[in-house]
Amino acid sequence: MKTPTRRTRPARRNMTLAEVRAFITQLAAANPNAESELNFVDDYTLLVAVVLSAQATDASVNKATVALFRDAPTPQAMVELGEEKVGAHIRTIGLWRTKARNVVALSRQLLERFDGRVPFDRAALESLPGVGRKTANVVMNVAFGDSTMAVDTHIFRIGNRTGLAPGTTPRAVEDQLVRRIPADMLRPAHHWLILHGRYVCKARKPECWRCPAFDPCQYRLKEDLRATGPETAPATAAK
Ligand code: SF4
């Protein structure tokens, strides 16, 4: 994930805690069954899919993992498949050479250090090749039901644009989200926010005219975008 930087102050002000609750509640109502768009069948294939998804779309990862997981559904099988053949499966994904090396190396470490299982422990996860804080947060959230918040480019943008959780680094935004989102909403909020950023609150032109969380949002340009709608909305609304 590119390290985002905040060039402007797109939100009028930070949301109040009541507005944070309303924002998340309205996203939830619009998409109650939100879940990961990555395909996986167990904790191990989830971990591999998330490692492959860095700087790549979920759709491109899903295309590649159909054959990869058929040939190597376990850490043992992945090690036996080897770096070269893993690379051949994922060549359509960005950074595929590094990712092939990491996937084989992390599979070997799972066998050697964790009895072939994905550990439910942040430090242990982050000690694996190719696994950083964001990947560990996704795995802990999706596989183990932990209330973690993985901040990708979409969540970073929404946090700053809407006044939900302003911060100049992904970690700062993560800390704000964990502090400000009600505890009972935190675990699924990861999915609601990612999907909202992917399909509605887009990077270049947020689609405010059809936003389910318009009222609590504090984005400066939201009224302009809603008034002009999809046809003539300015394309300069980034950030
Ligand atoms: S789509 Fe517009 S109104 Fe909705 S959260 Fe994003 S900036 Fe705010």
Write out the chain's pLDDT in tens, 239 residues: 333 444 557 999 999 999 999 999 999 999 988 888 999 999 999 999 999 999 899 999 999 999 999 999 999 999 999 999 999 999 999 999 999 999 999 999 999 999 999 999 999 999 999 999 999 999 999 999 999 999 999 999 999 999 999 999 999 999 999 999 999 999 999 999 999 999 999 999 999 999 999 999 999 999 999 998 887 544 445 44
Residue 151 lies in a domain: no
Q: Domain range spanning residue 24? A: 17-30+156-232
Is residue 152 part of the annotated active site? The answer reads yes
CB proximity list for 31: less than 8 A, separation 6 or greater: 191, 192, 195, 196
* Same-domain pairing of 24 and 72: no
Measured distance CA(189)–CA(109) in Å, rounded: 31
Same structural domain, 172 and 221: yes
pLDDT at 7: 55
Asked if residue 76 and residue 134 are part of one domain, the reply reads yes
Q: State the first-to-last Cα distance of the chain, in angstroms, to the nearest integer.
A: 17
User: What residues are in contact with ligand 1 under a 6 Å CB criterion?
Assistant: 161-162, 200-201, 206-208, 211, 213-214, 217, 219, 222
Task: Say whether 121 is catalytic.
Answer: no
Within a domain: residue 173?
A: yes
Same domain, 175 and 128: no
Both 171 and 91 in one domain: the answer is no
Give the pLDDT score at 9. 74
Q: What is the pLDDT of residue 192?
A: 96
Residues 117 and 195 in one domain: no
Domain edge (last residue) among 142, 169, 185: 142
Q: What total number of domains does the chain contain? A: 2
Last residue of a domain, one of 96, 116, 142: 142
- Catalytic one among 99, 134, 222, 239? 134
Q: Which amino acid is at 30?
A: A
> For position 104, which CATH number holds?
1.10.340.30
Q: What sign for the dihedral angle of Cα 93, 173, 40, 71?
A: positive
Distance (Å, rounded) from C-alpha 87 to C-alpha 65? 11
Per DSSP, the three-state class of 11 is: strand
21/76 same-domain check: no
Tell me if 185 sits within 8 A of 207, measured CB to CB.
Answer: no
